[in-house]
């Protein structure tokens, strides 16, 4: 497989001739909506290469010994079934976001049955997600504290998790407790142990999503209560949220710059068995207005939409080789400049190389709610995907 970067003057037909494949194959594999309008700097994944061309502006991917990895994808209950169908052949788990815990340990219901049924029919294992998100709000430190300090609430929450997994054919639970008070670190560890001991006798899997840390004592409300060593001991799988360096209310930058992601993984493997680690990969980008004003909000954009936007505004896509991420600038009809950071086949390849380099258990996508066909092509070329069915 080859990742081709579009040059000035390239067309699908010219590229097909270059690699000895068909235009129809390139259009189909990359799900090109407007194949007559390629963008300079855009990536195209080329399968079934029949020639050995000059690879000066291309990446050639030919893994010798593919290994099998775990691939998790987060989704919401209302995601388009057609989009899920396009992702399911490449997933081990689909983690449905989310059951919100209440202060008494009860869980808010969600309409997850359609996704569960579609997943099971597709050979994908469904996993329930439990969060400390307040109803109508965000992650709550206080809500988590109420659970941590009440044995009754913990017991009720765990029983509700067991009942839900049994009733709805979930294979496990993913605990996504964020923005915890630093002083609740050991309380959270104790809760993980309690959950593990309760669900393991029934054969259920425990995973947890944790913040991207580079040291044990990294300061900040997002980081301090996430104890990598404890998660490595109690969890069957640990999902590290290696994204959101570029985020909604932050300054423009790559969402998951490879240099920063690798620092997290380098630390993580010193605390967590590497095969338990699922490295987070973002399936989205952001648009920021320039000049950036602190506190202003970026707009989320899917990766295919970012390429389509570049085509509409006649922008050339550039590539930051330090962050290993694509970006472009453009001016809107009001004359306001914008910058867009997103993911493409090159940035995905760079991230997946870390999985091999550090012998990780696999990857986890936030989210699979939007299509990203190039990602699945690169993933399948580099790895086989663990399946339960």
Q: Give the catalytic positions in this structure.
A: 178
Contacts 24+ apart (CB under 8 A), 139-142: 139/177, 139/178, 139/179, 140/179, 141/179, 141/180, 141/181, 141/184, 141/221
Q: Give the C-alpha separation, 98 to 214, whole Å.
A: 27
Tokens 């959270």, residue located: 188
Count of CB atoms within 10 A of residue 18's CB?
17
Tokens of 89: 């052949």
Q: Are strands 68-75 and 93-100 parallel, antiparallel or unpaired?
A: parallel
Cis peptide before 98 (omega within 30 of 0): yes
Residue (of 181, 150, 176) closest to 238 by Cα position: 176
Q: Give the C-alpha separation, 115 to 48, whole Å.
A: 33
Question: In sequence order, what are the residues at sequence separation of 6 or more whose Cβ sits closer than 8 angstroms to the Cβ of residue 248?
Answer: 286, 297, 298, 300
Q: Give the C-alpha separation, 373 to 35, whole Å.
A: 15
Please state the separation of Cα 71 from the chain's center in Å. Answer: 10
- Three-state SS for 197? helix
Question: In sequence order, what are the residues at sequence separation of 6 or more whose Cβ sits closer than 8 angstroms to the Cβ of residue 297?
Answer: 248, 249
Q: Give the C-alpha separation, 328 to 317, whole Å.
A: 5
The DSSP result for 226-290, as a single string, is --HHHHHHH-SEEEE----SS-TTS-S--SS-HHHHHHHHHHHHHHS-GGGEEEEEE--EEEEEE
């Amino acid at each position: 497989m080859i990742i081709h970067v579009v040059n000035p003057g390239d067309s699908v037909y010219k590229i097909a001739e270059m690699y000895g494949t068909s235009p129809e194959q390139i259009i189909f594999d990359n799900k090109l909506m407007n194949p007559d309008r390629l963008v300079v700097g855009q990536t195209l994944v080329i399968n079934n290469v029949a020639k050995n061309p000059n690879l000066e502006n291309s990446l050639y991917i030919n893994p010798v010994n593919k290994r099998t990895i775990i691939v998790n994808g987060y989704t919401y209950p209302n995601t388009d079934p057609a989009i899920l169908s396009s992702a399911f052949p490449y997933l081990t788990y689909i983690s449905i976001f989310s059951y919100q815990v209440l202060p008494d340990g009860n869980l808010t219901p969600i309409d997850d049955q359609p996704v569960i049924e579609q997943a099971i029919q597709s050979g994908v294992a469904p996993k329930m997600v439990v969060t400390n998100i307040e109803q109508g709000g965000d992650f709550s430190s206080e809500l988590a504290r109420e659970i941590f300090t009440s044995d009754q609430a913990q017991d009720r929450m765990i029983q509700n998790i067991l009942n839900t997994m049994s009733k709805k054919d979930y294979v496990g639970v993913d605990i996504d407790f964020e923005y915890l008070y630093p002083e609740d670190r050991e309380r959270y560890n104790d809760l993980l142990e309690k959950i593990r001991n309760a669900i393991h006798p029934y054969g259920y899997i425990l995973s947890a999503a944790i913040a991207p840390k580079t040291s044990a004592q990294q300061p900040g409300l997002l980081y301090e209560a996430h104890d990598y060593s404890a998660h490595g001991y109690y969890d069957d799988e640990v999902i590290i949220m290696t994204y959101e360096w570029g985020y909604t209310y932050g300054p423009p930058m790559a969402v998951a710059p490879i240099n920063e992601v690798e620092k997290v993984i380098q630390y993580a493997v010193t605390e967590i068995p590497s095969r338990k680690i699922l490295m987070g990969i973002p399936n989205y980008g952001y648009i920021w207005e320039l000049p950036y004003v602190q506190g202003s909000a970026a707009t989320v954009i899917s990766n295919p939409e970012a390429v389509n936007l570049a085509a509409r505004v006649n922008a050339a896509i550039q590539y930051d080789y330090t962050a290993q991420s694509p970006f472009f600038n453009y001016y809107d009809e009001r004359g306001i400049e914008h910058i867009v950071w997103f993911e493409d086949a090159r940035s995905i390849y760079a991230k997946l190389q870390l999985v091999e380099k550090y012998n990780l258990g696999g990857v986890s996508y936030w989210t699979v709610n939007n299509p990203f066909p190039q990602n699945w092509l690169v993933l399948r070329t580099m790895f086989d995907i663990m399946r339960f069915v």
